[in-house]
Amino acid sequence: MHLKEYFTAHPKAALGFSGGVDSAYLLYAAVQYGADVQPYFIKTAFQPAFELTDARRLAAQLGVTLAVIEYDILSCEKAAANPADRCYHCKKALFGCLKARAAQDGYSMLLDGTNASDDVGDRPGMRALRELDVYSPLRECGLTKPEIRRLSREAGLFTWDKPAYACLATRVPAGQPLTADELARIEHAERALSLLGFTDFRVRLFHGAARLQLPQDQMRRALDSRQGVLDALKPYFETVLLDLEGRPS
């Protein structure tokens, strides 16, 4: 099935919108094919500020009004406890909130940006989406990540080459409870590294220290600019470690 056919069959829906590559292209396609798809960005302590900035920028580029929902995800005890299936509890809470808000706004169908490259299997987050009857047009239409990036570039969307970005909660080891302070420090540290020119990296919490996972081709630069990296991260972490295995591609 083509997305045009999909939106012809389903012309009205609410979209869980992250501002990332996939949901950005899905929203673009909905606009192109004349569907009434309302994007919702759920702002929590798990999302860095730049994600909301990107979501607003993309919505403005497409001439769509973005609805922003503030949600205290840390009030969800099962998500804040950070178990191995945290993503299930988080998705269940967020899309449950979205479902209620969308219904108030007159939308009964929920969409997300899962694509055909994603391994849906029995992943906790995917299980929550199935339970809440959330549909994934990109996956149903067989669109893979590389195809979505190509189509996004052709469409002139600035998100076409945006790196994949997992939520901030993934930076904390499973089983270690999540706190607003630690999530904020991780966010600030990642922003500081980004301002130094590093890309597609992670700052992970490791026994109170910041463990930097950088792509292999940026490792040498980090070592050469060691003092600059330390100075940038010291306001947030007393100890900064470099993971020599690097970030998996």
Per-residue pLDDT reduced to its tens digit, 196-229: 999 999 999 999 999 999 999 999 999 999 999 9
Contact 123, 115 (CB under 8 A): no
Per-residue pLDDT reduced to its tens digit, 103-155: 999 999 999 999 988 766 567 778 888 888 999 999 999 999 999 999 999 99
Contact 102, 110 (CB under 8 A): yes
On the question of pLDDT at 78 being above 80, the answer is yes
Q: How confident is the model at residue 249 (pLDDT cuts 50, 70, 90)?
A: low
In this prediction, residue 83 carries a pLDDT of: 96
Q: How confident is the model at residue 11 (pLDDT cuts 50, 70, 90)?
A: very high
DSSP labels, 28-56: HHHHHTT-EEEEEEEE-TTS-HHHHHHHH
In this prediction, residue 122 carries a pLDDT of: 60
In the numeric block, which tokens belong to residue 186? 């991780």
Contact 112, 129 (CB under 8 A): yes
Which has the closest alpha carbon to 171: 82, 238, 244, 236? 82
Q: Bridge partners of 204?
A: 211
Average pLDDT, rounded, for the chain: 94
CA 203 to CA 190: how far, in whole Å?
Answer: 6
CA 126 to CA 92: how far, in whole Å?
Answer: 10
Q: At what angle do helices 124-131 and 86-104 cross, to 10 degrees?
A: 30
User: pTM value?
Assistant: 0.91
Q: Please state whether 152 falls in left (phi above 0), alpha (psi between -120 and 50) or beta.
A: alpha
Residue 30: how many other CB atoms lie within 10 Å: 26
**For residue 27, what is the enclosing H or E element?**
helix 21-32
* % of residues, the chain, pLDDT over 70: 98
Which has the closest alpha carbon to 14: 74, 75, 72, 96? 96
On the question of pLDDT at 94 being above 80, the answer is yes
